[in-house]
Amino acid sequence: MSTFKYNDTEFAVTAAGQGWDITRTLPDGSAALVGTGLFAGMGPAEAQIRALALVKAIYPVGIKVVGPDVAHPNMIGDLRIVGPDVTHPNFIYWDKDSASCPAQL
Amino acid sequence: MEIKGSVVLVTGGGNGIGEAVAKYFAKQGASIAIVDMEQKNINRVVADLKAMGAEAIGVRANVTSEAETARFVQATLAAFGKLNITVACAGIIRDGTMLTLDKETGKVSRKMGLDKWAPVIDVNLTGTFLTLRDAAEAMVNGGWPGLLVTISSVNKCGQVGQLNYSATKVADALMPKIIIGEFMLRGIRNIRCVGIAPGYTATPLLTGMNQDALQAILKDVHLGRLVEPEEIARTIGHCAENEAINATTIEVTGGLCYAGGIAK
Ligand SMILES: NC(=O)c1ccc[n+]([C@@H]2O[C@H](COP(=O)([O-])OP(=O)(O)OC[C@H]3O[C@@H](n4cnc5c(N)ncnc54)[C@H](O)[C@@H]3O)[C@@H](O)[C@H]2O)c1
């Protein structure tokens, strides 16, 4: 088994049959499966590289800027307020900064 | 297309029909990418797929966002190196009539707001479009045999109280014809597109509803019971294997016959 830290989350890559399982540690300390039976036939080093690439694709780090959302104006009386629609599912906000800079991976 | 060894992406795969589709294809030897908004359900389904000995990943994503549909297709390629079948199962309902009248005055007391209209259009229509568009992009560029599946509903014929939902499901039913017409125009030959229109299906949404209401629904179903999610999954499996099924939407309803021919 090998582990790596990405965006303050601990991931483990564990051999499972012919392939590899990737798990991540949840805030409560329990583990959740990210993927199972992946990268069949690959050695540990190659599997770890592929696992990191996959984890980066699944859990991207970044800031999303949501511009004026003309399709979903917020109405206040007859006033149409065209701005970020905080109730729209595309609107993501961060209420907590990452506790540390992610290690160089 | 042979299912064994293929890669299947299922949005809404954390529950109901999507979960059944994921498990059906896993049983047939496909690798599975589950996409859903609910991380708990993703964790559960990926763990089940592991117990079945399948290859699988779970991606939490919202199908209404372009950035996220691109991300889950990219994650699927990072895990499995190709993509063959994409089933756009993510869907929601927000029922209500367009107008509600005050019983005493007979005047309009309430209108269906965009809070009920927009999310249904966003998930069921825009989400299906973005999912299929980005999956098709990967399939064209990768040159793999592909199948795109929209999930319509028998309510495509028009369901009272579901102006929003029925509008999306009639569009989802139409998409395969247009997409394949466009593929012909562009010389894209490796991808087929099929829609599935389930009838009343035994997902938690329906099995948990008022049992009297459920019995009233079943009066219109020739089979006399709800369709099982696995029966929807098997139909999609058949569509994958039978190349002649293309550019059409198939109803799987158990013989839903509304009295008088229209939805109530
Ligand atoms: N159950 C039925 O009787 C029935 C009948 C006809 C059509 N359908 C259609 O089948 C599909 C699946 O329905 P179901 O009954 O399994 O529903 P369900 O609620 O059990 O599952 C839908 C899944 O989609 C996910 N989802 C919702 N919004 C999402 C989003 N924005 N991004 C990603 N995932 C999202 C949910 O988290 C959920 O896991 C829907 O499109 C529905 O309209 C269902």
What local confidence, expressed as pLDDT, does residue B62 receive? 92
- Atom in ligand 1 nearest the alpha carbon of residue B152: 7
What local confidence, expressed as pLDDT, does residue B191 receive? 98
Q: A43 — contact with chain B (CB < 8 Å)?
A: no
Task: Evaluate whether B50 touches A31 at the Cβ level (below 8 Å).
Answer: no
Which of B50, B64, B114 is nearest residue A36 as measured by Cβ atoms? Answer: B50
Nearest C-alpha to atom 17 of ligand 1 is from which residue? B16
Listed in sequence order, the residues at least 6 apart from A38 whose beta carbon sits closer than 8 Å to its beta carbon are A19, A20, A21, A22, A47, A50, A51, A54, B55, B57, B79, B80
How open is the CA angle A29-A32-A35, to the nearest 5 degrees? Answer: 150
What local confidence, expressed as pLDDT, does residue B185 receive? 97
What local confidence, expressed as pLDDT, does residue A104 receive? 46
What local confidence, expressed as pLDDT, does residue A62 receive? 57
Task: Evaluate whether B196 touches B252 at the Cβ level (below 8 Å).
Answer: yes
Distance B107 CA to ligand 1 centre (A): 35
Q: A66 — contact with chain B (CB < 8 Å)?
A: no
Q: Is the ipTM of this complex over 0.95?
A: no
What local confidence, expressed as pLDDT, does residue B213 receive? 82
Could you tell me the mean pLDDT of each successive run of 10 residues in chain B, 264 residues long? Answer: 98 98 98 96 97 97 91 96 98 94 96 93 97 97 98 90 95 98 98 97 83 87 96 98 98 87 56
Domain boundaries, chain A: 2-58, 62-100
A37/B115 Cβ within 8 A: no
What local confidence, expressed as pLDDT, does residue B204 receive? 84
Tell me the residue ranges of DSSP E strands in B126-189.
Answer: 146-151
What local confidence, expressed as pLDDT, does residue B199 receive? 95
Q: A34 — contact with chain B (CB < 8 Å)?
A: yes
- What pLDDT digit, counting tens, does each position of A43-95 carry? 999 999 999 999 999 987 754 444 566 666 777 888 877 766 555 555 555 54
Distance A98 CA to ligand 1 centre (A): 33
Task: Tell whether the model's pLDDT for residue A36 goes beyond 70.
Answer: yes
Dmax (CA) of chain A:
64
What local confidence, expressed as pLDDT, does residue B12 receive? 98
Mean pLDDT of chain A: 78
Exposed, middle or buried by CB within 10 Å (0-12, 13-18, 19+), for B230?
middle
Query: What is the sign, positive or negative, of the torsion defined by CA atoms of B180, B184, B185, B186?
Result: positive
Structure tokens of B2?
């042979």
Kindly list the residues of chain B whose beta carbon comes within 8 Å of any beta carbon in chain A: 31, 39, 43, 46-47, 49-50, 53-60, 62, 64-65, 67, 71, 74-75, 78-80, 114-115, 118-119, 122-123
A33/B58 Cβ within 8 A: yes
What local confidence, expressed as pLDDT, does residue A102 receive? 45
CA distance linking residue A57 with residue B60, whole number of Å: 11
pTM of the model: 0.89
Q: Residue A98: what residue type?
A: S
A64/B55 Cβ within 8 A: no
Q: How far is CA B39 from CA A56, A94, B46, B64, B247, in A?
A: 17, 18, 10, 17, 33
